[in-house]
Amino acid sequence: MKNNYSILTGITPSGSGEVHIGNYLGAVVPFLELQKNADKIYFFIADLHALTTVQNKLELQRNVENLVLSYLAFGIDTKKVVFYRQSDITEHTELQSILNNVTPLALIKRAHAYKDKLQKGTDPEDINMGLFSYPILMAADILLYGPDYVPVGDDQKQHIEIARDVAGFFNKTYGETFVLPDIYNIKESARLVGTEGKRKMSKSLNNYIAVFADEKIIRKQIMSCYTDPNRKKVTDPGSVEGNPVFTYHRLLNDNKDEVADLEKRYTTGTVSDMEVKEKLIFAILTKFKKERALYNELKSNPEKIKDILREGAEKARVQAAKKMMEVRERIGITNKYSEFHY
Ligand code: ADP
Ligand code: TRP
């Protein structure tokens, strides 16, 4: 890890727009860790990326606002972090349009987001271009700001690799212009399992535990968690491996003695699933107590949120505009008058 480094990451306001414990462990924790020592930080709400799936105005706005509130509540330091909406900076789409021309089709055809849709049986003719070119917009998001590290979960790794490839193609064609970003990834919690115990926790799969929802909702989400299906009675010894309730306890319950005790009692058949879940509800609400209070406080102050986003956009625009000038120069789209000296 370098000494003076810059970082950048984004989050898509898709699905229900709610932040869950998977996002927290996979994206927020590494971000807060890096925030401590980084020199420069860019963090944005990828609302243009959300358009691939969210095509309802009110839903998009609600999701964006929810994310802004959530991340501010997690402790994003807006004095240090440039916090903005992707769509406020028009250079992102401008650069995407330019990068399209140095990106081989074959590279994009290998991208997960596109391949997943195909695997689910979607006719390739029906996939929208936004989804297809998703990684190129992501490359533009990153390359405009030249960060050293991009903190993302496992599911986004391939996109960062594509961004590196695209930067490489551009540099090869036009000369060194873009810094190739490195991934910053926390191994153990990079892919938190969902409450059904099978797929990764995701807003769009509705298998998540929300951080900022009402207590009643969080209770319901935890109570409906998959546990050990072979355990019929409390006295049956249960398995903690592959049991999502224990995965969450290990990662989020700060009372480590309690976790060890619950694990022991579970494997010896002396604790109920109910009690394990009750303790998880308590642990999660305790862990996020401060954040949940701040979320509600900010929610009652929309003007403050608008100011924060306006300031963020102003700062981001300075860097984005500077980089775009350089790109325009490189490729031959400049505002300077040509004197026909080729
Ligand atoms: P979702 O899948 O819920 O829609 P996003 O795709 O918006 O979440 O991801 C936002 C950030 O959170 C990304 O950096 C992503 O890698 C991370 N993330 C999402 N789901 C998980 C998970 N289950 N475990 C760890 N990190 C995750
Ligand atoms: N696609 C990312 C996600 O869904 C969000 C994102 C958009 C992003 N642009 C980015 C993340 C650039 C890192 C860098 O999580």
User: Does residue 186 have a pLDDT over 60?
Assistant: no
What is the pLDDT at residue 152? 82
Q: Compare 271 and 16 and report the one with higher pLDDT.
A: 271
Confidence of residue 189 (pLDDT cuts 50, 70, 90): low
User: Does residue 161 have a pLDDT over 80?
Assistant: yes
User: Does residue 145 have a pLDDT over 90?
Assistant: yes
CA–centroid distance, residue 259 to ligand 1 (Å): 25
Q: Is 203 in the pocket of ligand 1 (CB under 6 A)?
A: yes
7 has which bridge partners?
Answer: 41, 149
Q: Is 142 in the pocket of ligand 2 (CB under 6 A)?
A: yes
Q: Compare 232 and 142 and report the one with higher pLDDT.
A: 142
Please check whether residue 43 is in contact with residue 88, taking contact to mean a CB–CB distance below 8 angstroms.
Answer: no
The answer to whether 117 is a known catalytic residue is yes
Nearest C-alpha neighbor of 70 from the set 259, 299, 310, 242: 299
User: Does residue 188 have a pLDDT over 80?
Assistant: no
Helix (H) / strand (E) element for 130: namely helix 129-132
Q: What's this model's pTM, rounded to 2 decimal places?
A: 0.87
Greatest extent of the chain over all pairs of C-alpha atoms, in Å: 87
CA–centroid distance, residue 280 to ligand 2 (Å): 30
What ligand has the least distance to the C-alpha of 45? Answer: 2
Query: Which segments within 53-203 are labelled E, that is strand?
Result: 81-85, 149-151, 182-184
Encode pLDDT of 51-73 as tens digits: 998 999 999 999 999 999 999 99
For the chain, the C-alpha Rg in angstroms (whole number) is 22
Mean pLDDT of the chain: 92
What is the pLDDT at residue 26? 82
- The rounded Cα 115 to chain-centroid distance in angstroms is 20
Domain ranges of the chain: 6-191+301-331, 215-287
42: helix, strand or coil: strand
CATH topology of domain 6-191+301-331: Rossmann fold (3.40.50)
Encode pLDDT of 253-300 as tens digits: 999 999 999 999 999 999 999 999 999 999 999 999 999 999 999 999
Residue in 40, 117, 299, 315 annotated catalytic: 117
User: Does residue 216 have a pLDDT over 60?
Assistant: yes
Assigned superfamily of 215-287: Tyrosyl-Transfer RNA Synthetase (1.10.240.10)
- Measured CA to CA, the distance from residue 262 to residue 160 in angstroms comes to 39
User: Does residue 127 have a pLDDT over 90?
Assistant: no
What is the pLDDT at residue 119? 84
CA angle 157, 158, 162 (to 5 degrees): 120
Q: Is 259 in the pocket of ligand 1 (CB under 6 A)?
A: no
The residue-averaged pLDDT of 108-134 equals: 87
Confidence of residue 210 (pLDDT cuts 50, 70, 90): very high
- Measured CA to CA, the distance from residue 292 to residue 217 in angstroms comes to 14
Encode pLDDT of 21-49 as tens digits: 998 998 788 788 878 888 899 999 999 99
